């Protein structure tokens, strides 16, 4: 076992180079949200801070929980009133003396372990920079590839079928990856057009995205919000294992097709 504060300090230092950017890009806290037991017995990794994840983590012996969607990303509060669902989640955390860390922006933006940059590297792309604010990344494939081949590769990578908007027989050379709800909203669509992005890889899409994609000549492939955001927490687990080899670390899956 290690001390909770030792692990928290390590995580704070690991993410410190990007913390200022996180503060500028969102209102919720990235980091320790609920302090639990002083001794960490096991780290449980997950996508979202919900009751099923908490229960499964405890069943598997975890007492230090790390998620991508921490508190503040769900509608647990309404005009400063706490919902019953949020109260039940907090009650479970306190009853079981669990720590909860959430890294939203930081696990999307991180250039080494995040939800987006590693996908481009898996595709063999040379990363050119950020896109969709600073949440995602874009890059150029070393070899132009048919859309069908890229989608097939990503379906295997994410282990989830792709839903393609504005499909065509185009060749793909320039790809952007923005996990989760990274679809082409009106206020960000011009960025995709200006960078001449052929394919946007994301998690989920909305009705309005179809028309926007067609109007800016962008193909969008969605592989599920949950599935596109398991990458970062799993990679962070490997970082923790390397730093603390004596500490058990496990990804706790709460399957979600959306």
Structural domains in the chain, sorted by start: 2-107+230-251 (3.40.1390.30), 116-224 (3.40.1390.30)
Length of the chain equals 258
In this prediction, residue 169 has a pLDDT band, given cuts at 50, 70 and 90, of: confident
In this prediction, residue 72 has a pLDDT band, given cuts at 50, 70 and 90, of: confident
Distance CA 77, CA 168 (A): 43
**pLDDT of 28:** 78
**pLDDT of 168:** 77
- For the segment 5-57, what is each residue's pLDDT rounded down to a tens digit? 999 999 999 999 999 999 998 877 799 999 999 999 999 999 999 999 999 99
**pLDDT of 124:** 97
Across residues 161-176, what is the average pLDDT?
93
CA 13 to chain centre: 20
What angle in degrees, to the nearest 10, is found between the helix axes of 231-243 and 4-25? 140
**pLDDT of 26:** 83
- For the segment 196-207, what is each residue's pLDDT rounded down to a tens digit? 999 999 999 999
């Amino acid at each position: 076992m290690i001390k909770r504060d030792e692990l928290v300090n390590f995580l704070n230092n690991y993410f410190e180079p990007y913390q200022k950017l996180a503060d500028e890009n969102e209102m919720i806290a990235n980091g320790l949200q609920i302090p639990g037991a002083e001794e960490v017995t096991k780290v449980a990794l997950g996508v979202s801070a919900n009751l099923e994840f908490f229960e499964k983590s405890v069943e598997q012996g975890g007492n230090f929980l790390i998620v991508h969607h921490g508190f503040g990303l769900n509608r647990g509060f309404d005009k400063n009133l706490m919902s019953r669902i949020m109260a039940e989640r907090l009650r479970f955390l306190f009853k079981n003396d669990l720590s909860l860390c959430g890294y939203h922006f930081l696990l999307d933006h991180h250039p080494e372990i995040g939800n987006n940059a590693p996908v481009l590297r898996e595709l063999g792309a040379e990363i050119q920079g950020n896109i969709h604010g600073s949440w995602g990344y874009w890059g150029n494939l070393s070899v132009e590839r048919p859309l069908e081949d890229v989608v097939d590769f990503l379906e295997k990578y994410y282990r989830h079928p792709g839903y393609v908007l504005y499909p065509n027989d185009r060749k793909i050379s320039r790809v952007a990856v923005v996990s989760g709800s990274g679809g082409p909203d009106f206020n960000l669509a011009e960025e995709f057009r200006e960078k001449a992005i052929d394919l946007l890889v994301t998690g989920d899409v909305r009705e309005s995205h179809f028309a926007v994609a067609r109007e800016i000549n962008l193909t969008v492939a969605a592989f599920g919000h949950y599935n596109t955001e398991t990458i970062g927490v799993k990679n962070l687990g490997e970082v923790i294992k390397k730093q603390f080899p004596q500490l058990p670390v496990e990804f706790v899956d709460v399957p979600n097709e959306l």
